[in-house]
Amino acid sequence: MSNAISDIVVKTINGQDKQLNNYAGKVLLIMNLASYCGYTSQDDEFDQKYKQAGLHVLGFPCNDFRAQEPRSNQQIVKFSTSQYNVIFELFGKVDATGSQQHPVDDQLTEAVEPTGTVAWNLKKFLVNQQGEVVARFNSSVHPSSLKLITTIESKQISKLVNSR
């Protein structure tokens, strides 16, 4: 099984279909989000640092963990932009686990070690320019963490300018 995500179709936050191959040639950091999660404060740090380095952050809201994302897609946009000034791309709410697990989460969670379902909000997956999942990070790994930055740079897919 390939670990490329390019053939997966997702729903934008406004309900439109979008194929992930639209990001071909771009480095992606994909994560599941929840407004009421304690890790949500990380959201505002992704935009500036990573956008300057050429990374594209894709956020998929999820209500799988202790119902921490009960909001509608429209409410999620309003909350994310007003509370955390989020400018990264938000997608429609997905199931990250269980029988209704979205194909994007199914592919992400089986592509790199350690494999297995997402255990909490703000799990992060790094995707290279070829659409291949190359790394997975736990929720507690902060956007400015040396572990995340070093992994991105060691994969030679981006340089995080002014990040340290």
Q: Out of 31, 37, 118, 133, which one is annotated catalytic?
A: 37
Highest mean pLDDT among 15-19, 62-66, 97-101, 122-126: 15-19
CA distances from 58 to 1, 11, 99, 125, 164 (A): 23, 12, 23, 10, 23
Task: Specify the pLDDT at position 7.
Answer: 84
Q: Going by C-beta distance under 8 Å and a sequence separation of 6 or more, which residues neighbour residue 93?
A: 60, 61, 62, 63, 69, 73, 76
Distance (Å, rounded) from C-alpha 163 to C-alpha 52?
10
Task: Specify the pLDDT at position 163.
Answer: 42
8 A C-beta contact, residue 44 and residue 85: yes
Would residue 62 show up in a list of annotated catalytic residues for this protein? no
pLDDT digits 0-9 by tens, 52-109: 667 888 989 999 888 888 889 999 889 888 887 777 889 999 988 888 888 888 888 8
Task: Specify the pLDDT at position 98.
Answer: 84
Give the chain's domains with CATH numbers: 9-154 (3.40.30.10)
Partners of 28 in beta bridges: 56, 127
Q: The whole model's pTM is what? A: 0.83
